[in-house]
């Protein structure tokens, strides 16, 4: 079978898998950003209890494998009475894992906003919440955006693991195709190229664009 015939026959399955992968990536990155922001801010809280919760969360999710977390959320969490549908379990696991890595980026970025900005906001009598939202966070976002670009590529790669709990993403589809046709080079090779295209020609340009927009909004471009 030529490669074109292969694409003709299995193209729609690969396409549907790709769409699931994109959907997973979008949902997981929204979850990861929310968790990263919350855990990153909690990590710097004054209360040791709040700080402790964030540290434990970050260390657990950074200290173990995504695959272990995925299996745990999918197979063990139901024993605690929380049953997640496999698609939900998939993006929740990926989002929670990358959120823990993102939390450290958020913390690092906030800490690297110049001290003078904090002092100026204090001098203007801003409340701590207003200071964070109006002065510190917008500058922190610009600082951490380049690292988030790398993190989102890691996230995209992480979504491939959800195929192992039978979410029908790109990885799952090509695994199935490989199982029935044994055309491994075509099936897995196509998936490799699709992932590469998603990472290099969608995520990276999108993040570059976002960096430019954010810098312009801060009047730095």
Beta-carbon contacts of 131 under 8 Å, excluding residues fewer than 6 positions away, are 118, 121, 122
164 binds another protein (CB under 8 A): yes
209 binds another protein per the rule CB under 8 A: no
**Nearer to another protein (CB atom), residue 133 or residue 196:** 196
Of 60, 82, 124, 213, which one interacts with another protein (CB under 8 A)? 60
By CB under 8 A, residue 185 contacts another protein: yes
Please state at what angle helix 48-63 crosses helix 86-111, rounded to 10 degrees. 120
If you count them, how many residues does the chain have? 221
Q: Which residue stretch of 30-38, 46-54, 129-137, 172-180 sits at the interface with another protein (rule: CB under 8 A)?
A: 172-180
**How far, in Å, CA of 2 to CA of 6, rounded?**
6
Q: Does 118 bind another protein (CB under 8 A)?
A: no
Per the CB < 8 A criterion, the answer to whether 53 and 42 are in contact is yes
191 binds another protein (CB under 8 A): yes
- C-alpha 215/C-alpha 158 separation (Å) is 29
Q: Which of 30, 34, 68, 120 binds another protein (CB under 8 A)?
A: 68
Q: For residue 21, how many other CB atoms are within 10 A of its CB?
A: 26
**Interface contacts to another protein, rule CB under 8 A:** 59-60, 63-69, 71-72, 75-76, 79-81, 153, 156-161, 163-164, 171, 174-175, 178, 182-185, 188-189, 191-192, 195-196, 199-200
């Amino acid at each position: 079978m030529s490669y074109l015939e292969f694409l003709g026959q299995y193209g729609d399955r690969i396409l549907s898998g790709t769409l699931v992968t994109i959907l997973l990536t979008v949902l997981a990155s929204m979850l990861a950003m929310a968790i990263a922001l919350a855990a990153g801010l909690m990590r710097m809280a004054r209360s040791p209890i709040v700080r402790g919760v964030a540290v434990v969360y970050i260390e657990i999710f950074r200290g173990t494998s995504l695959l272990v977390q995925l299996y745990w959320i999918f197979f063990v969490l139901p024993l605690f009475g929380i049953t997640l549908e496999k698609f939900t379990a998939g993006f929740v696991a990926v989002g929670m894992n990358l959120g823990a890595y993102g939390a450290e980026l958020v913390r690092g970025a906030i800490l690297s906003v110049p001290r003078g900005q904090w002092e100026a906001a204090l001098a203007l009598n801003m409340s701590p919440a207003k200071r964070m939202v109006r002065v510190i966070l917008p500058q922190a976002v610009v600082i951490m955006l380049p690292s988030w670009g790398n993190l989102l590529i890691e996230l995209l790669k992480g979504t491939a693991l959800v195929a192992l709990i039978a979410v029908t993403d790109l990885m799952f589809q090509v695994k199935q195709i490989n199982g029935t046709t044994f055309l491994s080079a075509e099936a897995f090779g196509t998936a490799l190229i699709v992932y590469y295209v998603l990472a290099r020609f969608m995520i990276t340009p999108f993040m570059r664009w976002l960096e430019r927009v954010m810098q312009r909004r801060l009047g730095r471009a």
